[in-house]
Amino acid sequence: MLPETDDERLCRALHERFGFDRFRPGQQEAASAVYSGRDLVAVMPTGSGKSLCFQLPALLLDGTTVVVSPLIALMKDQVDGLKSRGVAAAAVHSGLGAAERARAEADLAAGRLRLVYVAPERLASARFGDALVRARIARLVVDEAHCISQWGHDFRPDYGRLGDLRQRLGAPAAAFTATATPEVRADIARQLHLSNPLDLVTGFERPNLTLAVDPCRSRADKARALDRLLREVGPPGIVYAATRKNVEMWAGHLEARGLRAGRYHAGLGDAERARVQDDFFAGRIEAIAATNAFGMGVDKSDLRFVAHADVPGSLEAYYQEVGRAGRDGLPARGVLLFGAADVRTQEFFLAGSNPSPAVFRQVWELLAAGADDAAIETAAAGDAASGMAAATAARLLRRAAERLGRSPGSGEPPIDFAAQADKARRDRARLDTMIRYAFGRGCRTRFVYDYFAGAGRGGAVLRCGTCDVCLGWRRGEGRPLDDREFERVRIALSAVARLPARFGVERIAQVLTGSRSREVLDRRLDRLPTFGRLAELKIDEVKALLEVLVDAALLERRGIEGGRPGAFVLALSSEGAAVMRAEHRPLLALPGGEDPASPRGRRGAARSRPSPPETPPDPGLLGRLKAWRAAEAKRRRVPAYVIFHDSTLEALAAGRPRDRGTLREVKGVGSAKLEAYGEELLKVLAGPAAET
């Protein structure tokens, strides 16, 4: 008999020790890399099962696998789970008593542990570091690895010791995170001294999780959108807000809707936060309004929704938070209630977390004079963001001075101003990416995957089929363009390309219509080749055209640093550039079109405007179709509307198509769904008609 391969050993252990018949996407590749001793950087979103990727190999390796994690609650859960399977595991962190910690360290030194979970602050202990080096360590695993990178969105200084630990242990290392761009992954590999690591990005396809953006112009719009979400999906769920004030407001809104609601933010005491979290996990609270303080380690599998009432500061933070919905595999929804003016809140946070060199120098002098935090914030003249920036500068300066053994005020501030400027630019770029996601009209999953994958892409995700865009929510269906319409689209795109991220809809529409306004003439925009090229249209018609191009993801809105709330500029997307060059002719939801009386016009109208069925739906057949859809949705573990909308089933029950050709003509049955469900649908449709 041939010896088992590594993959065969892993598959057998997966079944025998964990009771699973198969791996989730990406798990086998990651587990195989860890088992074989290849260094690894893996991006696996929340709920994709990344812990199994290092726990499984640990059971088959000689020696102990060290797992560094900042989450004490998660450590406890995983250690308890491993022990219940008969696996020798322990955790070492500040929450343990002295006797319990000494027992875990003794088991580690004696080689009795398969896995030991370690909080990063424990690495500051020379005694514990020496104990690790003396033990027989098989693998080093770094969870939440983005925390090691100053380019990451959640940098933690304690993680800075991991590079030295990795070299002292001399063991292969694997870094796992739910959110890391190619830039951050490269920095993780550099800081951990990884050798030719496998760059793995996977797990973004979650067919049970519908990602959606609800455009909201006011707080009332957000309240209505949240109420709609509660009706359609229901609790349990989380409403994230950017400020404590907004958390309290949304918690009150949830309570007014009859829900058992809680609130969670840094302004509450430790005991209160712990009580709210325990009540939520135990089901005594149905919904919770929270800031991002309710963050890593949230592991409630049955969340039906995660709603963001304020735009987050980065796509990394957003996807990590929204990924907490639907971890049980059942239908769930992640919704961003997006108001353009909300961007100002995040711009306030950007200003407060990125002090200027002048602020650093001012605070350095104040520290030398013995000023405390309150005095420093008071001395920082200006608005609230200035006080926040001064507090940030004081924290960073104290930390740097302590590390270097310097007294405050002696010499230049111990800050790398160039690095700080780079950080400010990266923070702004992250916010701009989040804004593009919010305004975008392309597939949400593809946007997220493209952002995180980069060179680590394991295969293109063209359309997920389950986000609001792919499902066609709140978006007009496009139609073919005639030659003149296509020319106008290309002219409008060209105008934006010649004004890269400088002007908004109003100014660009003035250029295209040939306005002689002072704003246009003073900036010499009348000298552009596209000036006046759409003069035959009214300015409102051109503005409407530009909005359609934004909706079609041919143009992107971008925020203006320091601009007024809701002010955005337009920029050309890569898809828009292809259309501008006439490499692609899109379908667009433009008003007008050909004469509906013409055969081609009738075909176009059928595509763009659904018509009510000429005969009412057969009630018996409609019932059978809905029963089939419910069973199929349960089997695929997706929401029923992902299979077919009610309007499509009604059209099927009215028209009773008998073959694939007529089936395809029904609105809502495209090529992909015809391929996936065609044969089953035809069987249901061939059943007996209702008696009349």
The per-residue DSSP string of 616-662 comes to: ---HHHHHHHHHHHHHHHHHHTS-HHHH--HHHHHHHHHH---SHHH
When pLDDT is averaged across residues 296-302 and rounded to a whole number, the result is 72
d(CA 12, CA 178): 27
Q: What is the pLDDT of residue 565?
A: 46
pLDDT band at 501 (very low <50, low <70, confident <90, very high): low
When pLDDT is averaged across residues 379-398 and rounded to a whole number, the result is 80
Top pLDDT among 593 and 15 is at 15
d(CA 625, CA 613): 16
Q: What is the pLDDT of residue 567?
A: 62
Q: Which residues pair with 588 in a beta bridge?
A: 479
Q: What is the pLDDT of residue 605?
A: 37
Top pLDDT among 520 and 297 is at 520
Top pLDDT among 416 and 296 is at 416
Q: Phi/psi zone of residue 465: left (φ > 0), alpha (ψ -120 to 50 degrees), beta?
A: left
Q: What is the pLDDT of residue 603?
A: 36
Q: What is the pLDDT of residue 297?
A: 58
CB 326 within 8 A of CB 332: yes
* From 12-16, 99-103, 250-254, the region with the lowest mean pLDDT: 99-103
Q: What is the pLDDT of residue 33?
A: 92
Q: What is the pLDDT of residue 494?
A: 92
* CA nearest to 224, candidates 324, 323, 137, 335: 335
pLDDT band at 454 (very low <50, low <70, confident <90, very high): low
Q: Which residues pair with 215 in a beta bridge?
A: 338
* From 16-20, 153-157, 369-373, 639-643, the region with the lowest mean pLDDT: 153-157
Top pLDDT among 334 and 169 is at 334
What the block records as the tokens of 487 is: 């020319």
φ/ψ (deg, to 5) at 307 = -115, 135
The percent of residues in the chain predicted with pLDDT above 70, rounded, is: 87
φ/ψ (deg, to 5) at 505 = -60, -45
Q: Is the pLDDT of residue 459 over 50?
A: no
Q: What is the pLDDT of residue 344?
A: 82
When pLDDT is averaged across residues 63-72 and rounded to a whole number, the result is 85
3-class SS of residue 495: helix
- HSE-CB at 213 with a 13 A cutoff on CA atoms is 26
Q: Phi/psi zone of residue 297: left (φ > 0), alpha (ψ -120 to 50 degrees), beta?
A: left
When pLDDT is averaged across residues 586-596 and rounded to a whole number, the result is 63
The percent of residues in the chain predicted with pLDDT above 90, rounded, is: 13
CB 90 within 8 A of CB 63: no
* From 256-260, 327-331, 486-490, 684-688, the region with the lowest mean pLDDT: 684-688
Top pLDDT among 279 and 155 is at 279
Q: What is the pLDDT of residue 241?
A: 93
pLDDT band at 15 (very low <50, low <70, confident <90, very high): confident
Q: What is the pLDDT of residue 477?
A: 58
* From 19-33, 487-501, 612-626, 673-687, the region with the lowest mean pLDDT: 612-626
CB 12 within 8 A of CB 23: no
Q: What is the pLDDT of residue 286?
A: 92
pLDDT digits (tens, 9 = 90+) for 255-268: 999 999 999 988 88
When pLDDT is averaged across residues 588-605 and rounded to a whole number, the result is 48
pLDDT band at 611 (very low <50, low <70, confident <90, very high): very low
The per-residue DSSP string of 41-71 comes to: EEE--TTS-HHHHHHHHHHHSSSEEEEE-S-
What the block records as the tokens of 184 is: 């951050």
Q: Is the pLDDT of residue 633 over 70?
A: yes
State the chain's mean pLDDT as an integer: 81
Q: Phi/psi zone of residue 548: left (φ > 0), alpha (ψ -120 to 50 degrees), beta?
A: alpha
pLDDT band at 456 (very low <50, low <70, confident <90, very high): very low
Query: Which amino acid is present at 397?
Result: L
CA distances from 413 to 364, 378, 381 (A): 6, 20, 20
pLDDT digits (tens, 9 = 90+) for 507-556: 899 988 998 888 888 888 888 899 888 998 888 888 888 888 887 778 87
When pLDDT is averaged across residues 593-609 and rounded to a whole number, the result is 38
Q: What is the pLDDT of residue 307?
A: 95
Q: What is the pLDDT of residue 31?
A: 92
What the block records as the tokens of 284 is: 């005594």
pLDDT digits (tens, 9 = 90+) for 619-629: 888 888 888 88
- Pairing label, strands 568-572, 555-559: antiparallel
Q: Is the pLDDT of residue 248 over 90?
A: yes
Top pLDDT among 633 and 251 is at 251
d(CA 553, CA 588): 11
CA dihedral 236, 241, 245, 246 (to 10 degrees): -70
d(CA 157, CA 142): 14
User: How far is C-alpha 239 from the chain's CA centre?
Assistant: 15
What the block records as the tokens of 610 is: 């659904």
Task: Quickly list H helices, 215-356.
Answer: 219-232, 244-256, 270-282, 315-322, 343-353
**CB-based contacts of 144: which residues, under 8 Å, 6+ apart?**
69, 70, 71, 154, 176, 177, 178, 296
What the block records as the tokens of 219 is: 């707080």
Top pLDDT among 89 and 122 is at 89
CA dihedral 627, 628, 632, 635 (to 10 degrees): 60
Q: Is the pLDDT of residue 615 over 70?
A: no
Q: What is the largest CA-CA distance in the chain?
A: 95
Top pLDDT among 559 and 401 is at 401
All structural domains of the chain, each given as residue ranges with its CATH number in brackets, are: 6-201 (3.40.50.300), 209-338+440-456 (3.40.50.300), 346-428 (no CATH), 477-580 (1.10.10.10), 619-685 (1.10.150.80)
* From 37-41, 304-308, 325-329, the region with the lowest mean pLDDT: 325-329
What the block records as the tokens of 625 is: 């179709």
d(CA 53, CA 142): 12
pLDDT band at 213 (very low <50, low <70, confident <90, very high): very high
Question: Around Cβ 373, how many Cβ atoms within 10 Å?
Answer: 12
pLDDT band at 609 (very low <50, low <70, confident <90, very high): very low
Q: What is the pLDDT of residue 256?
A: 92
- Pairing label, strands 89-92, 287-290: unpaired
Q: What is the pLDDT of residue 476?
A: 53
Most confident of 226-230, 370-374, 505-509, 675-679: 226-230
When pLDDT is averaged across residues 642-669 and rounded to a whole number, the result is 79
